[in-house]
Amino acid sequence: MTGTRHGTAALTFLKGHGTENDFVIVPDPDGRLDLSAADVARLCDRRAGIGGDGLLRVVRSAAHPEAAALAAEAEWFMDYRNSDGSVAEMCGNGVRVFARYLQRAGHAEAGDLAIATRAGVRRAHLAKDAEDGTPGDVTVRMGRAVLPAGPVAVAVGDRSWPAVHVSMGNPHAVAFVADLDQAGDLLHAPAVSPASAYPQGVNVEFVVDRGPRHVALRVHERGSGETRSCGTGACAVMVAAARRDGMDPAADGQPVSYVVDVPGGRLVITEHADGEVEMTGPAVIVAEGAIDPDWLAVRN
C-alpha cells in the first residue's frame, strides 16, 4: 500500500462490542478508504494493531458499489470484514454495534433504522436508554433462516457430531453436544463434512441445553477463530433448537423465543410466525481514537 490510498490525515476509529464480540469501527461516509485484507488484519491484530474479531466500515450506501441499489431503503452500509481480512455477508453482533455507532455519531436516534448489509437490508430498533443512563438494547430483524437439506457433521479430533446446516445470510453448522468442553480449545477450525456443503467456509456452533428454551453456545467463526459471541450463530442455534424441539413458528402460527447464552453475555432470539428471526442484545462503544496513517501505510 502507498500513503496515497489513505491520504495523510489521521483516520478516526472507534472500538465497540456486542456481548464481547468486538469490532474496530472505521467511519468512511464517502467510501474513500481502500482497506485491503492485509490492512484489516493489521487493524484487528490484538498485539500489533487495535484488536477486534472484525471490522465495521461505515459507508453511505450510495457511496458503495455493493449497496448503492439499497440506498433508498437504508442510508448506511455495514462493510463487515472478519479479523483475517475476509469479507462476510452478515454479522449479527456487528449490526447492533453499527446501529449504536450511528446513534452516537448523530446519524440515528432511538427508534427504528434500516442498515444495508451484503445479506440485504436489516431493520434495527434502538431502545431508549434507561433513566440511569444504561444504554437500551438493540433489536434486529435478521431475515429468515434457511436450512438446506442434507446431513452435515462436525468433528473435533476423533469426536464427531451430526449438525444442522443453517444459513442466516452467512453459513453455520450447529452441533448439539453434551458439554461445551467437548469442543476442545478451538484453536483450529473444526472439520465439517461434507466440505461441499460449505464452499465458502463455515461458522461452527457447539450447543448445550440450559433449560426450557434456554441454550448456551461456543462458536468458531470463519475468518476470526473462537469468539465470545456470534449473533448470526445465536440465531442459527435458536432455529436449530426450535426445530429439534418440534417448533416451527411458520407452521405453528406463533412465535417462539429462546435465551441464548454466549461466553460474552446473553442474547434473546425470537422466530416469528412470518419466519423472521429477531435478535435482541446489547451494543457498546468503548473507545474512540485516531489511526496513524503512516503506520497503516507501512507494509511489513
Ligand X SMILES: N[C@@H](CCC[C@H](N)C(=O)O)C(=O)O
CB of 145 to ligand X, least distance (A): 13
Question: Is 133 marked as a binding-site residue?
Answer: no
* Known active-site residue 235: no
Told to check if 22 binds ligand X by CB under 6 A, we report no
Contact 138, 283 (CB under 8 A): yes
Q: How far apart are CA 171 and CA 203, in angstroms?
A: 6
Q: How far apart are CA 293 and CA 300, in angstroms?
A: 14
First to last CA, the chain: 10
Q: How far apart are CA 171 and CA 88, in angstroms?
A: 10
* Known active-site residue 44: no
Question: Is 246 marked as a binding-site residue?
Answer: no
When the beta carbons of 6 and 49 are compared against ligand X, the nearer one is 49
Told to check if 70 binds ligand X by CB under 6 A, we report no
Contact 35, 63 (CB under 8 A): no
CB of 235 to ligand X, least distance (A): 8
Contacts of ligand X in 229-268 (CB under 6 A) = 230-233
Told to check if 83 binds ligand X by CB under 6 A, we report no
When the beta carbons of 82 and 139 are compared against ligand X, the nearer one is 82
**Exposed / middle / buried, residue 187 (Cβ in 10 Å: 0-12, 13-18, 19+):** exposed
Out of 57, 224, 260, 264, the only residue in the binding site for ligand X (CB under 6 A) is 224
Q: How far apart are CA 129 and CA 267, in angstroms?
A: 18
Catalytic annotation, pick one of 202, 230, 240, 285: 230
**Entry field: residues in the chain:** 300
Catalytic annotation, pick one of 91, 119, 183, 219: 91
- Three-state DSSP at 180 gives helix
Task: Kindly state the cell numbers that stand for 100.
Answer: 449504536
CB of 59 to ligand X, least distance (A): 18
Question: Is 222 marked as a binding-site residue?
Answer: yes
CB of 75 to ligand X, least distance (A): 22
Told to check if 92 binds ligand X by CB under 6 A, we report yes
The residues near 178 (Cβ < 8 Å, ≥ 6 apart) are: 208
Neighbouring C-beta atoms of residue 272, cutoff 10 Å: 16
Told to check if 143 binds ligand X by CB under 6 A, we report no
Of 64, 104, 62, which is closest to residue 80 (Cα–Cα)?
64
Q: Which one of the spans 4-12, 85-93, 177-185, 207-215 is the region binding ligand X (CB under 6 A)? A: 85-93
Residues tagged in the binding site annotation: 21, 82, 92-93, 170, 203, 221-222, 231-232
Any idea which residues carry the catalytic annotation? 91, 230
Residues that bind ligand X in the complex, under the rule CB under 6 A: 21, 54, 82, 88, 91-94, 170, 203, 221-224, 227, 230-233
Residues tagged in the binding site annotation for substrate: 21, 82, 92-93, 170, 203, 221-222, 231-232
